[in-house]
Chain A
Amino acid sequence: MNNRISFSRIRESRLFWVLTAWAVILGFNALFVPGFFRINVQDGHLYGNLIDVLNNGAPLMLVAIGMTLVIATGGIDLSVGAVMAISAAMGAVLINPAPGDKLVSNEILTRNATNTPLAIIVIATLAAGTLCGLWNGLLVSRAKIQPLVATLILMVAGRGIAQLISNGQIITIYYTPYFWFGNGYILGLPVSIYIVAAVAILAWVGVRKTPIGLFIEAVGLNSKATYYSGISAKNIQLLAYTFSGFCSALAGLILSSYVHSADGNNNGLNYELDAILAVVMGGTMLSGGRFSLLASVIGAIVIWTFTLSMYALGVPANALLAGRAVLVLLVILLYSDRRLIKRRGKSNPAAVQPQDEKPGLPHP
């Protein structure tokens, strides 16, 4: 009896299915991708597929953390990819001016130097993204525009803004200290991982050690009840969207540093969809309410483990999207199965209460 309860508790856990999905992919790799788990020390840092998963996946993990909080309030942020492009463009033009529609033969464009100190570049990049997030938050919380529509505006306009900043060019960056964020190492691990860890801890402390997390879930579950309890749903929403903008800005910084360029069209392309997938795989429902930051981060890792495994098998980039769709479908089906079991198992009268019908609520 006791055993059965603990097993069901594990299965109810938000982490269970996303970890299962990860384990299945890793198991597949162990069989079909020789050397996938090999980690060597190379020039004083760790080197291997798993390290690549962490480093490549870092921007997505950051975006997923921000997206989790937004989704938990019952909203959605479609603009994250565009905000990444805006931030990246911001950083790049501060390093070197964008020549625009002129062909210039000028060594200034390729020199390993910057027009702006690195600290100011980072601050400006983060500020640009955070402002975008604030804008989304104002549209949703104050102008009462539906989140899907409000963030769609910036999703569409954002790439245009990024191109305006960069004068429609791909700006190649030659300033080496900027590359540290995407390619540097601290104690053998990629810098980007430390950034993700710092943001994740910041978010976790913010939501679990203060009432903010409770308020976010309350807004997502039942905004009317929240209103009557005296919680300012408006400010909670504003905070969530602004934080999501901040996370996207950091992701844009890492990504542009990683590929040495700012590209208004392609930086952060489809990241909004990947981030939503990561959050959904992590068990947070799109209707809002209970959430798990850790599960979303693992969701992002699952997506990148899958991507790199497919590349290792030689599946071309275009066919990859189809494979990813199958992966997501499987995980979502597992979840719907979980809810089915839960509903069938319910026989006590408490289950009749409408709030318990909301998936993802804790057990009493």
Chain B
Amino acid sequence: MSSSRSFAARLMALLVIIGLVGCGAQTATEAPANAPATGAAKTYSDMVLCYPQLGAESDWRTANTASIKETAATLGIKQLVFSDAQQKQENQISAVRACIQQGVDVIALPPVVEDGWDAVLTEAKNAGIPVIIVDRSVSADKSLYSTHIGSNMTLEGERAAAEFNKMMPNGGVILELSGTTGSGAAVGRAKGLRNKLNSNITILDSQTGNFTRAEAVPVMQALLKKYTPGKDFQGLFIHNDDMGIGAIEVLKAAGVKPGDLKIVSVDGTRGGFQAMVDGWFQADVECNPLLGPQVFELALKLMNGQPVDAEVLTDETVYYPENAAELLPTRKY
């Protein structure tokens, strides 16, 4: 008798648990769609945000990671699901899938390359999870994600072109050390440069250093053996500061002095500022990694079903050596 009662009690308990879990799953996946109807606006303390970071390839990236983590802690969000894909798209795709399974509220994705996101973005859309594309862009259909926040990479390339036009009014020859092949940043910066570069400035050669110092160094070494600095080329466009720092070391070994070449880099990290103070970079085009506050603001809007702009651009500028020394101590990345 007692055993049958306890069996019934267990059965009840099991049913209750199943019910709870069922409800939990339901609210997690359908919340974004139902949010406006429920009326009660969601707050940061309800938010579970998934941030599958693409890696830690540069100072810029670590600053971006720090910004996301710091903002999450300050706002007191419920949970930040953070992962590091080590610059491999397959790792990033499986991280996104894991987040969809977990039923997070919003996914903020900094894609390592532009292509190949359609399938997993469709899965997120079918699960009712809004996706914010952060930093680099994707080639997937715009209906598959809610918004893109980040820098206008093409504009950065155009700004760099403007610097070269200013420094080389009588024309000249430049080399390009580009970023990861196929990444939105490398594609955009290369395109921007070519859009706005004066016709009397030619791009002699372009090779990728994959945005890392370790790979930029041997590539730069080989380029310097092929072309004589000053004679064959007078300028150098580098797609990020980390590669720039690697390149400077190579230039030093080759006997190039600061100022011999016109060097323009992108990012505006501490390392880049130091390079301007030392006279190596003539300009550093800013690319702001401190996207944390904006990402979470957009995520909250999406959770509450409010409309957001399809493209949110960050406010950026170009830095010059003149005030680099005085700005350097204030740089946060």
Complex CA gap A261/B59 in Å reads 10
A258/B217 in contact, CB under 8 A: yes
Residues A259 and B213 in contact, CB atoms below 8 Å apart: yes
Chain B residue at minimal CB-CB distance from A55: B253
B173 contacts partner chain A, Cβ-Cβ < 8 Å: no
B220: nearest chain-A partner, CB-CB: A311
**Which of B57, B67, B205 is in CB contact (< 8 Å) with A103?**
B67
CA distance A174 to B213 in the complex (A): 15
CB-CB under 8 A from B329, the residues of chain A are 105-107
- Expressed in whole angstroms, the minimum distance between the Cβ of B302 and any Cβ of chain A is 24
Output the least CB separation between B196 and chain A (Å): 25
Asked whether B205 lies within 8 Å of A308 as measured between CB atoms, the reply is no
Count of chain A to chain B residue pairs whose CB atoms are closer than 8 Å in the complex = 128
Q: Which of B181, B222, B290 has the largest number of chain A CB atoms within 10 A?
A: B222
Given contacts A49-B225, A110-B270, A316-B207, contact A307 B56 (CB under 8 A): no
- B57 to nearest A CB, angstroms? 7
In contact, A314 and B218 (Cβ under 8 angstroms):
no
B78 within 8 A of A: no
Verify A314–B207 contact, CB threshold 8 A. Answer: yes
* Residue from the list B59, B221, B242 in contact with A52, Cβ < 8 A: B221
Choose one: A52, A103, A267; the contact of B63 (CB below 8 Å).
A103
The answer on a CB contact under 8 Å between B70 and A103 is: yes
Instruction: From the candidates A35, A103, A259, name the one contacting B333 in the complex (CB within 8 A).
Output: A103
A115 at the interface (CB under 8 A from B): no
Asked if B120 is an interface residue, CB under 8 A from chain A, the answer is no
Which single residue of chain A is at the shortest CB-CB distance from B213? Answer: A259
Q: Which one of A122-130, A164-172, A288-296 is at the B interface? A: A164-172
Taken together as a complex, chains A and B put the C-alpha atoms of A99 and B332 apart, in Å, by: 11
With a cutoff of 8 Å between Cβ atoms, the chain B residues found around residue A169 in the complex are: 56, 62, 66
- Taken residue by residue from 251 to 274, chain B's Cβ proximity to chain A (1 for < 8 Å, 0 otherwise) reads as 011110000000000000011001
B246 in the interface, Cβ–Cβ < 8 Å? yes
Q: B280 → chain A, closest Cβ, in Å? A: 13
Number of interface residues of B (CB under 8 A): 53
Q: Name which residue of chain A comes closest to B86, CB basis.
A: A265
- B270 touches which one: A49, A172, A265 (CB < 8 A)? A172
Instruction: Tell me whether A168 and B70 are in contact (CB under 8 A).
Output: no
Minimum CB–CB distance for B161 against chain A, Å: 23
- The reply to whether B59 and A318 form a contact with Cβ atoms under 8 Å apart is no
Q: Is there a chain A Cβ closer than 8 Å to B304's Cβ? A: no
Distance of A158 Cα from B275 Cα, bound (Å)? 32
Shortest Cβ distance from residue A363 to the other chain B in the assembled complex, whole angstroms: 41
Residues of B63-106 whose CB lies within 8 A of A: 63, 65-67, 69-70, 73, 84, 86-87
Contact of A259 with B221 in the complex, beta carbons under 8 Å: no
Say yes or no: B181 contacts A318, CB within 8 Å.
yes
Residue-wise interface mask of A (261-302) relative to B, using a CB-CB cutoff of 8 A (1 in contact, 0 not): 101111101000000000000000000000000000000000
Point out the residues of chain B lying under 8 angstroms from A170, CB to CB: 56-59, 61-62, 242
Q: Mark A236-272, 1 if CB is under 8 A from B, else 0.
A: 0000000000000000000100111101111101000
A172 touches B271 (CB 8 A): yes
With a cutoff of 8 Å between Cβ atoms, the chain B residues found around residue A38 in the complex are 225
Q: How far is the CA of A45 from the CA of B67 in the complex (A)?
A: 43
B218: contacting residue among A42, A103, A269, A308, CB under 8 A? A308
Chain A residues with CB below 8 A from B212, complex form: 263, 266
Does A36 count as interface, using CB distance less than 8 angstroms? yes
Closest to A38 in B: B225
Is residue B219 within 8 Å, beta carbon to beta carbon, of the partner chain? Answer: yes
- The yes or no answer to A102 lying at the interface (CB within 8 A) is yes
Q: Is the CB of A168 within 8 A of B56?
A: yes
A30 to chain B, nearest CB (A): 14
Is B331 part of the contact surface with A, judged by Cβ < 8 Å?
yes
The answer for the CA separation of A36 and B253 in the assembled complex, in Å, is 16
Residues of A within 8 A of B305 (CB): none
The answer to the question of A183 belonging to the interface, with a C-beta cut-off of 8 Å to chain B, is yes
- Chain A positions within 8 Å of B209 at CB level: 317
Closest to A310 in B: B222
Q: Are B253 and A56 in contact (CB under 8 A)?
A: no
Chain B's closest residue to A304 (CB) is B218
Q: Which of B208, B222, B271 contacts A308 (CB 8 A)?
A: B222
Query: Does A261 contact B86, Cβ atoms closer than 8 Å?
Result: no
Chain A min CB distance to B227 (Å)? 10
Per-position 1/0 for B191-230, Cβ under 8 A of A: 0000000000000010111101111011101110110000
Q: Is B316 positioned at the interface, with any CB of A under 8 Å from its CB? A: no
Instruction: Report if A312-B226 is in contact (Cβ < 8 Å); known contacts: A105-B331, A263-B56, A318-B181.
Output: yes
- Annotate B138-172 by CB proximity to A: 1 below 8 A, 0 otherwise: 00000000000000000000000000000000000
* Chain B residues within an 8 Å CB radius of A92: none
A259 x B63 contact (CB < 8 A): no
Contact A259 B67 (CB under 8 A): no
Instruction: Check A266–B57 contact: CB distance below 8 A.
Output: yes
**Interface residues in B275-333 (C-beta closer than 8 Å to A):** 290, 328-333
Q: How far is the CB of B9 from chain A (nearest CB, A)?
A: 45
Closest Cβ–Cβ distance, residue B77 to chain A (whole Å): 14
| Residue A47 is within 8 A (CB to CB) of chain B in the complex | yes
Flag if B56 contacts A174 (CB, 8 Å).
no
Taken residue by residue from 342 to 362, chain A's Cβ proximity to chain B (1 for < 8 Å, 0 otherwise) reads as 000000000000000000000
- Bound Cα distance A218, B221 (Å): 43
Could you name 8 residue pairs across A and B whose Cβ atoms are closer than 8 Å? A35-B226, A48-B225, A168-B62, A169-B56, A183-B249, A259-B214, A261-B242, A308-B221
Can you list the 6 inter-chain pairs with the closest CB atoms, starting with the nearest? Answer: A311-B222, A42-B255, A259-B213, A312-B222, A107-B329, A101-B69
Q: Footprint of A on B, CB under 8 Å?
A: 55-59, 61-63, 65-67, 69-70, 73, 84, 86-87, 181, 205, 207-210, 212-215, 217-219, 221-223, 225-226, 242, 245-246, 249, 252-255, 270-271, 274, 290, 328-333
Give 16 A-B pairs besides A307-B218, A312-B225 with Cβ atoms closer than 8 angstroms: A42-B253, A47-B253, A56-B218, A56-B221, A105-B331, A107-B329, A169-B56, A259-B214, A260-B213, A261-B242, A308-B218, A308-B222, A311-B207, A311-B221, A314-B207, A316-B208
